[in-house]
Structure 1
Amino acid sequence: MTGSVAEASRELEDLLSLAEGEDVTLRGIYDVSALRADADLMLWFHAPTAELLQKTLRSFRQTKIGQSVELVWSSMGIHRPAEFNKSHVPSFMAGVKAREWVCVYPFVRSYDWYLISDEERRAMLAEHGIMGREYPQVITNTVSSFALGDYEWMLALECDVLHDIVDMMRHLRGSQTRRHIRVETPFYTGRRIDPAKVAQTLR
């Protein structure tokens, strides 16, 4: 990274302030180093429109920090009413504060998932939900990404203790919905860090 750490940090802070003024919210910047060989940093933004997110990413890539890293993965999702629970919204939209750790991954359902009866799908999702509620300390964020990339859904799990995500994911392997997953990688897991410390983290 060219220039001083302080200069790069100020530039990032300025960008985040401008983005906030345009109704773009930073959910978190995460240190994913050691958890992935291909990445050190993950950014999670949300906004009312896709165009605002595109603009924010372009602006980030023009900063000193953005120019010092290589973009290895990017995905976008949109909140749509849940199939069997129209009132459900992702935690980040419900005003739930961000947690210390996040695990982000996409998934694609089986080819026949959308062809089986509503009753059967509802029962499997209910079972999955009941099993997940055994881990209330893990908050969930599911958004739709059909036609926005290679995936159908994006999921972000947040918690303050890393092993809670590990334990919950292992537990949910026993859900009947597991029979209807074709793709659920890549996984990006990281610890939330102060934006002021990003430049130092990348040194």
Structure 2
Amino acid sequence: MPKVEYDNFQKICLFKLGQKFRLLDADERSKGKQEFAAAIDDLSSVHPILSYSTVGTRADTDFMLVQDSPSIETFHETSRRLNTTLMAGYLEQPYSYLSIRRKSRYKHGGGTPGELKEDYKYLIIYPMTKTRPWYEKSMDDRQKMMNDHFRTGINYPMVKINTTYAFGLDDTEFVLGFEMDDPSDFVSLVMDLREVPVAQYTATEIPIFTTIRMPIAEALDAMV
């Protein structure tokens, strides 16, 4: 494999608030949320943590945190710090994804490595794994099929794709992120992509998380 350019690691964590937290008195809930939000703000001073709400879009999660760093140890420290908060005792983490940014192996695909932005209202993410027959094809054959994939994506400049790679790091091969201001644009894009030949080589691409970008304090208030 030719030498490629790698960039930062990315960690995505999705959390679900336990019902017992909602039974606490209002003052204790408020203090717990303030402490958690303050920890996020403090940790973000070095490696920013983006926060998203899944209240109303997923039944099994309430909010999502995304952090980029050149070192995996950053994610360890983030988790360690958050685990010291009161709220951590009431949170479950049903999903998490560890991956790394790098240039695509295919020409005109995936863009250059870059972090998620804060100027899009929605972020939709999901893990994706290819079938074994895909990797048995020559690079030229794969490039030809990916060209159709890229041509379809060009028709949706309002949807920004963000691909990270999890080979050997997590239970999936890719973590795909799509930023947009209108989710209906993404629905149209996915429907069109289903019709290109490369789609038959996708083994899995669930679960899908539709999230709403918002400050961590607002995301926590949306839960209780």
The residue that corresponds to 1:52 in the other structure is 74
Partner Cα separation in structure 1 for residue 40 and residue 208 of structure 2: 25
Is the aligned partner of 1:126 residue 2:147? yes
* 1:14-163 equivalences in 2 (<5 Å): 14-21=38-45, 23-26=46-49, 28-85=50-107, 88-92=111-115, 96-163=117-184
Name the stretch that deviates more: 147-156 or 29-38: 29-38
Q: Contact 1:35–1:190 (CA<8 Å) still a contact in 2?
A: yes
| Cα distance change, pair 15–47 in 1 and its aligned pair in 2 (3 A) | same
Name the stretch that deviates more: 191-200 or 155-164: 191-200
Paired residue total: 199
Shift of 1:15: 1.5
| Cα distance change, pair 162–67 in 1 and its aligned pair in 2 (3 A) | farther
Shift of 1:73: 0.5
User: Structure 2 length as normaliser, TM-score?
Assistant: 0.80
Alignment root-mean-square deviation, CA: 2.1
Identity within the alignment, %: 24
What amino acid sits opposite 1:44 in the alignment? V
| Cα distance change, pair 64–77 in 1 and its aligned pair in 2 (3 A) | same
SS in 2 for 1:59: helix
SS in 1 for 2:213: strand
Higher share in strand: 2
The residue that corresponds to 2:35 in the other structure is 11
User: Structure 1 length as normaliser, TM-score?
Assistant: 0.88
Divergent runs of 4+, >3 A:
2-6, 85-88
Runs of 5+ unmatched residues, structure 2: 1-20
Shift of 1:5: 4.7
What amino acid sits opposite 1:127 in the alignment? D
Shift of 1:6: 4.1
The residue that corresponds to 1:177 in the other structure is 198
Partner Cα separation in structure 1 for residue 87 and residue 119 of structure 2: 23
Partner Cα separation in structure 2 for residue 4 and residue 165 of structure 1: 40
| 1:135-175 superposed Cα distances (whole Å, 9 cap, x missing partner) | 11111110110111210111011101121222211121112
Runs of 5+ unmatched residues, structure 1: none
Q: Contact 2:101–2:114 (CA<8 Å) still a contact in 1?
A: no
